[in-house]
Structure 1
């Protein structure tokens, strides 16, 4: 293995890994990035039909993508960007399914990221001040805001300043127009129901779109690309990180064990600084394998919270039809593709409409779009109607029983696999009922009707493929489905109640930083990736000061 001298190791090359590598490299720090997957070419990452559909069906039949195929993104993106679950397994109780989406390649899951970039609000960083449940973050909105600014300016985010406190304004380069039917929908839910309605904020496309260059929603088209251009970053591919060991005198990490996925050989790297950006569950797996309970040379977690308090967003999805607006067939300057910015939000947060009694803590928002699904007219059952969807996703409370631990089972390289135990509580299920009623009211206000997808489209053999899809069921999909998993190594103000400090460092192993979603003490309701990236930059800028 040909590696040049390095000062820091970044594990993972996705959204947070790209920002970490860039931030360190621009300070003159030599960075080695370890990626568990291969390098992919731009054209290989795009969606190619009908080839991609055949691959998806193969992934379903062979169970290579048995869990990941339940997510709609799997049917939109190139299925090669979803990891082989037979090679990278995980375990869960039979009665408590968890759907874990993995992306092991250069760029990680940033290649399949939907690209929504909503900021968390001041209230989201200190939610317990309002309802008394669970922890607050050890940082404030004011501390993270400059890093939001940087990420938005650097990436080129689209959006509109709507002056809604639940989703603070950001730095935007312009707007992507709503479709005519989305404008009509928004005006009706605002006028009839007094619901907030905003243009979504984010990127104009993701890697499924066939283009020459990587989109900026991917780390390969933004942060990681620029990091490599500094000359201070190198990357090795197809290496899985197993664990790190500490020097018992200094209590600092000194060795990192990695395994070559092509030949199974294990190697040990010296390290002065480790930044974990492998995605929440993969990072927790590394931490659990490195903790003294499973590794005699491991670090100590004095909080007892490592692997516990895992969270994801609970969600409800409904398709609907509305009468076509007068100008809805008029072409837009930008084609109405579905994207992070090409969509809309009803951003309630905890300022929820009072439908019956609100018998749950925290809040949610509703993401939606109309006329952006790319459905050919010949497949639509009623060409005089427009097809849309609404997806409500809400905050999940941190609960000790929702956890990641190490299974007795191992992968083919002898590394214990994650065992994920997670189920919705009464709080989340009550929230889902409220979501359902809010969606029904919204569609009714727009003179629309909620329908099953096979009522909206003529799908050949459709019932064979749609009858078992979780997204189309009446009940909330199981945890993991929304791919917003966070928690398990929460940050806090002291080592008795948290795994990492306010700058993402392990309390008893200060040269290991947890920069992805694992460090979150609460989940909020917004899409988390923008905040993960901002936290990563903040923590890496602090490294130079210490």
Structure 2
């Protein structure tokens, strides 16, 4: 078994792993970046980036063969010809559903940073204080003021388009000019603001699509193609490939190793430190050891937790970081797929140009101030307005020239929005190792035992009714509300399984994302989240990672991590 030493090892190359690699290399550390899947090179490997629907044999739709190979992915829109090959192979990487859990994984360099929705919002002081204030789970060990400078830092680098709104519960950031609302969205926003006296707002989405070029990163501003999930040849949206990986490579301090499955963290019980990781080569099955002074686990929430669970089991049966009894527990996501839509009249002579990569956002308005609902926390809405296209159904025109002519004209203006709600951390919502089931490499798999609870079910009633009420109040016609059903995992925001906290008896990580049981191991992906808020979490992962990397290097120089 060959062994090689580095200053730091980063496991996982997605949003947080890319940031860890950038920050650690730029601070002078020799870093090994391990990715369990294949390499995807920026631009060269974006094989579908310039294709149109007619370029696909099945016009982008999933085939029966694809559905058979991906029984989980086929449950939702993520399985399609356009992104085929960008999701984990479910036959090689199975998991056990004690209760339904839709786990959508991207095993390749860049991970889901190539596939994410790019919505980028800060957690607020209210979010960081909510658990303590309401007696839920444990208190965050940090507050907004700890994170604010790091939000500033990552926003400036990544490039977040948005508008400053002055809302305490949705803090402003370092924004590029926004992706503009279209004419109908602006009209509905004005009507909504008037109808609710400014207490409910429709604002520009805050999105990681640059609206001004970043030549220092080799990134060109957004071209309004709305093909972000296919990889952007312009580097217009933030991803590992377009931004953090080139920066890390530029230092000369990075070694990238794809096809490297980390099977465990190697733990020195005498020093009470990790000494490295064990890696299985995904192509050859050969085993390697790599040693380092610092290890960052950024393999995505559940995979980082899996690595901890499979490490140091001779000392802790539940794995490294399990001494609190919380490792693998407190699974969170964002529940959604409920909202409303309708028709907007009076704009038949108006259209729009390009394909925007974002729409509007309605910030949380429930359980703020003195209002108390029959549930805790709240939700926000994401949505857009557009004109119906050629695929609309015109019942009166079944075939022929009349149908062709009718579909050549834009259809009615419609507007729709979907709510994203916070899920509370529950100890009984958990993942654990099922050692009776093995993956392609003979490793145990995760079992999912997660469900939404009464708090979320009560919230969904408001998520539906409020959407209907707001659109009707804004003058939208034929408004229809819908709950399309939600299963845990569908939000693709899995969080919480190695939570931060103030006490090693009730949490896995401390306030700088260090594993209490091994302080030279840091976890800065979604596993670290102590609560979920209702906003998309990736910006927080970036800020937590940059903050932890800065701290790790300082502690390393002091000799505290060796």
TM-score (norm 1): 0.88
| Aligned partner (choices 204, 207, 219) of residue 202 of structure 1 | 207
Hey, what's the Cα distance between the residues in 2 that align with 1:210 and 1:237? 19
Q: Does 1:401 align with 2:401?
A: no
Alignment coverage as a number of residue pairs: 516
**1:364 lines up with 2:392 in the alignment:** no
Q: What is the CA-CA distance between 1:242 and the residue it aligns to?
A: 1.0
Write the distance in 1 (CA, Å) between the matches of 2:178 and 2:88: 34
Q: 1:10-25, aligned counterparts within 5 Å?
A: 10-25=10-25
Q: Cα deviation per residue 1:413-453 (whole Å; 9 max; x = unaligned)?
A: 1111110110011111001111111111122223233459x
* Aligned equivalent of 1:70: 75
Q: 2:96 aligns with which of 91, 111, 124?
A: 91
1:237 aligns with 2:240: no
Q: Does 1:448 align with 2:477?
A: yes
Partner of 2:327: 306
Name the Cα RMSD after superposition. Answer: 2.7
Q: CA separation of 1:262/1:47 partners in 2, compared to 1, >3 Å: closer, same or farther?
A: farther
- Structure 1 residues 211 and 360 mapped into 2: Cα distance closer, same or farther (>3 Å)? closer
Name the counterpart of 1:132: 135
Please give the alpha-carbon distance, in whole angstroms, between the structure 2 residues aligned to 1:134 and 1:235.
38
Query: Does 2:441 align with 1:413?
Result: yes
- Measured in 2, the distance between the counterparts of 1:433 and 1:507 equals 40
**What residue is the counterpart of 2:180 in the other structure?**
177
Q: Determine if contact 1:370/1:388 at 8 Å carries over to the other structure.
A: yes
Aligned to 1:343: 359
Please state if 1:377 is matched with 2:390. Answer: yes
Change (3 A) 1:163 1:190: same
Conserved? CA contact 1:365–1:392, under 8 Å = yes
Aligned partners of 2:205 and 2:67: how far apart in 1? 37
SS in 1 for 2:97: coil
Which stretches in structure 1 are left out of the alignment for 5+ residues? Answer: 453-472
Pair member with larger Rg = 2
Structure 1 residue corresponding to 2:550, chosen from 525, 535, 541: 541
The answer on whether the counterparts of 1:184 and 1:325 sit within 8 Å (CA) in structure 2 is no
Structure 1 residue 271, shift from structure 2 partner = 2.7
Name 2:558's counterpart in structure 1: none
CA contact (8 A) 1:364 1:525 kept: yes
**Aligned with 1:424 (options 448, 452, 460):** 452
Please, which of 494, 501, 507 is the counterpart of residue 503 of structure 2? Answer: 494
- Offset, 1:104: 0.7
1:390 is displaced (CA, Å) by: 1.1
In the other structure, the counterpart of 1:461 is none
Matching residue of 1:458: none
Equivalent residue number for residue 467 of structure 1: none
- 534-543 or 492-501: which moved more? 492-501
Asked whether the 8 Å contact 2:342–2:477 carries over to 1, the reply is yes
Aligned partner of 1:285 in structure 2 is 306
SS of 2:161's equivalent? coil
**Do 1:181 and 1:324's aligned partners in 2 also have CA atoms closer than 8 Å?**
no
- Matched with 1:476 is 485
Counterpart in the other structure of 1:118: 121
Tell me, in whole angstroms, the C-alpha distance in 1 between the residues paired with 2:530 and 2:352: 45
TM-score normalised over the length of structure 2: 0.85
